[in-house]
Amino acid sequence: MFTWLSANIGTILVGIILLLIIFFVIRSMRKDKKTGKGGCGCGCKGCASSDICHSHRQ
């Protein structure tokens, strides 16, 4: 077991880092959605598709 772990430590660390990045991206997207921010990051004031994205709020 220990030899397998030491032989694959690089792959394991990269996998953990990628999982953390994905977790924080999803958390940020959920927080933005709860506060009403758009998905593109530029806001909805001048967006031509704002009626499609936020039709349920109007």
Q: With bands split at pLDDT 50, 70 and 90, how would you rate the model's confidence at 54?
A: low
Residue 39 three-state SS: coil
Provide the token pair at 27.
Answer: 């958390």
- Encoding tokens for residue 14? 């990269």
Nearest CA to 26 out of 55, 34, 13, 50 is that of: 34
- Which of residues 29 and 19 earns the better pLDDT score? 19
Q: Which tokens is 19 given?
A: 């999982």
Alpha-carbon torsion (28, 29, 31, 36), positive or negative: positive
% the chain with pLDDT above 90: 45
The mean pLDDT of 5-33, rounded to a whole number, is 94
